Structure 1
């Protein structure tokens, strides 16, 4: 670490840690810090909690038709279940409401400094200097980066010139914007599938461009949310894969009948595509499938099979780059475009620099946020109350290199770099907690340890 500031130039908060971001990951971290008696300050550049789920948050990729990709009863924070009146797969409005209620129930929003953008974070000996925009820098003993992953679009480049409109999915808000247009959606992740369905309903004609085939899992199997079976049935991957593959052949059939390429990988070797609505639109020819783009030619898009289409709007649903813009990129090791942190959270070279929420997984992310926040909070607590214990965990950070993908053997792609199998991750965290004599998640009130500082917080709630 290098020295970049002097004590006189900063507000001393060196007994506390800074939490950056008040989306689901930041709220999870704040609550677990309180539970374990760790003092913190909390920053959010927007005017409310919720992160990407607030459609009014500038730069969010949220769109009107969005729903949670995991189901209601297996999602949510660990002791704060989603209400029964929510849909099996809650809408973006319900998820935003749920996240707001979580923050208010535990008083987390009362101490967040809203409207405060962090412009710079840097190491200073064994502390961290955090600079809020237009404010005096503050000194902390640690920083939790929870500012989210879906803010920096990944946009591919294709040869040629296109006279129509090119946009990324981050700009998509409503299917109504497709009215009267011939729309090509590029990419078939879960967001791309949702947006293609919007185009199927509103556009004059709708197409999807894909490079490979995908296994499509219906959102409901035998009338129950598909992911609910994973919670009650535990079988090894070598058995689960052929059993579910056979079931999908029975329930879904041959996806090549509707123009999709045959998958070039086994089930679960890519992030699962859960979308029953897409199947409906493919089956009714509301969406036509094209292969990869070869080049643009004026009004036309030319595909690798030589075919071409006259298109008004090309919308890239090609994902996001994980960036942490307030930190020097070299502060992290990287696995593709993902910070290569121990247990997805702990920096191996800079003590007390954490990432919460920078994870791609095959399960509800909220429960994983709680599990890793619980470990981060107890580690920070032990640095004060049991320094020998914290030093033992420092050894794990430096030397423990678990395989958190388990037996998935994922396709090599930027999205799957550092991919986490939720069951494997939780089991390893349980072993770490046992080894460190740390507690598991337990319901109950959280002690408030966030403290106001001599800076006016902005809480301009909409």
Structure 2
């Protein structure tokens, strides 16, 4: 029986959806990409009308362009080492134009509901109310758009918003001459704190953190720090982390040097924060460091060290939840950002859905989703087959221990992945094993008789 290639639906035209579409097109797989917005880029489309972009006006990516780019589409040499969000969007536009990806994207037709049919396949309802049937579903709706907020006791009577809604010191509100508390110590928290603490704005800025973070420089010896190292797939990650921890003190990564609380983890047991300016602002007195908030009381915030402060504004830079609004909650969800995915791609027992980009990849997501999309395309044309469900469950546990066993137990690190280990595993083990499992059979052979 000659297999039929699956009619494939891709949810989202951000970096994950674009890369998935590019690989499907390369392999000749018919597909349609459903996008809620009127443009590509997802999170990197500043001011995206679909409300999903978390980019702020001053945002520069924290990964160097050398590490950021797709392998089959390098970033231009004239780009800066750490591109601005407009550079990243321009790069994605060029990617889509070069490979003819726009013709398969239906803009303004995001997926409202995806219903799994008995016996396989999907009924897709888009935001215009149209219903269509597909054989394979690619879930690429991203995981940095649904803000997660802390649940502090009490009530704050000032203005509070998540960093997802931050644009600049004048949006979503005028942030001049204010008493501002920024909660969190990730990269966004550091950037926003630095920007709002400019003396020209006459703000009083306080930075509060629960678990603290190691602060690493973007440049080391005059070069982007992430170009000076890469983890080796031939050495245990624990050994490599210990080696980096030995040399770290010389780089000034300890946040206690700048008045912040000591981290509740060792270096690289959680995402470090990359910032050149934050230590300077803390050391110059432009930012007041505080530990975690304990409770809210009107315009007063009480901290766990017994101190308190009065504030006009709280900016919560406290991360995001993985959300699938198009699935019925009882069908599939990710409570606490936990979802069991084989190779971060497949739900065991659900062989006609593939998840792309649902990982916190170090050093960056771009080459990670390119690697995943290569396996996706192989799967779609029958050159890769999944192992039995019991084996998938076993491997999920093994991979989870490898990638997250050393991490702090938090929603931010449930999907941690080291790209270099992951890519080596996929290229040298998983794809060859999947090809051997596939043999002459295709997961879509049943379609030929439909």
TM-score between the two structures when normalised by the length of structure 2: 0.88
Once residues 424 and 332 of structure 1 are traced to their aligned partners in structure 2, the CA distance between those partners, rounded to angstroms, is 28
Once residues 89 and 199 of structure 1 are traced to their aligned partners in structure 2, the CA distance between those partners, rounded to angstroms, is 21
Alignment of 1:106-255 (within 5 A): 106-125=99-118, 126-176=120-170, 177-201=174-198, 202-231=201-230, 236-252=236-252, 254-255=254-255
Once residues 324 and 254 of structure 1 are traced to their aligned partners in structure 2, the CA distance between those partners, rounded to angstroms, is 37
Distance apart, 1:162 and its partner CA: 2.0
1:387-424 C-alpha deviation (Å, 9 max, x unpaired): xx636587864664341562661111111113212222
Structure 2 partner of 1:5: none
Structure 2 partner of 1:319: 319
Change in CA separation of 1:285 and 1:88 when aligned onto 2, cut-off 3 Å: same
Distance apart, 1:262 and its partner CA: 1.7
Structure 2 partner of 1:93: 86
- 1:413 corresponds to 2:410: yes
2:299–2:310 Cα contact (<8 Å) kept: yes
Distance apart, 1:243 and its partner CA: 3.6
Unaligned runs of 5+ in 2: 437-450
Distance apart, 1:347 and its partner CA: 1.8
Change in CA separation of 1:195 and 1:239 when aligned onto 2, cut-off 3 Å: same
Change in CA separation of 1:136 and 1:213 when aligned onto 2, cut-off 3 Å: closer
Higher relative contact order (CA 8 A, sep 6+): 1
Change in CA separation of 1:317 and 1:203 when aligned onto 2, cut-off 3 Å: farther
Where 2:399 maps in the other structure, the secondary structure is coil
2:403–2:417 Cα contact (<8 Å) kept: no
Where 2:23 maps in the other structure, the secondary structure is helix
Structure 2 partner of 1:259: 259
Once residues 33 and 393 of structure 1 are traced to their aligned partners in structure 2, the CA distance between those partners, rounded to angstroms, is 25
Change in CA separation of 1:214 and 1:400 when aligned onto 2, cut-off 3 Å: closer
- 1:403 corresponds to 2:399: yes
Distance apart, 1:257 and its partner CA: 3.0
Unaligned runs of 5+ in 1: 1-12, 439-462
The count of corresponding residues between Structure 1 and Structure 2 is 421
Deviates more, 1:277-286 or 1:188-197: 277-286
Q: Cα RMSD (Å) of the superposition?
A: 2.3
Structure 2 partner of 1:20: 11
Alignment of 1:237-386 (within 5 A): 237-252=237-252, 254-332=254-332, 334=334, 336-382=336-382
Distance apart, 1:198 and its partner CA: 1.5
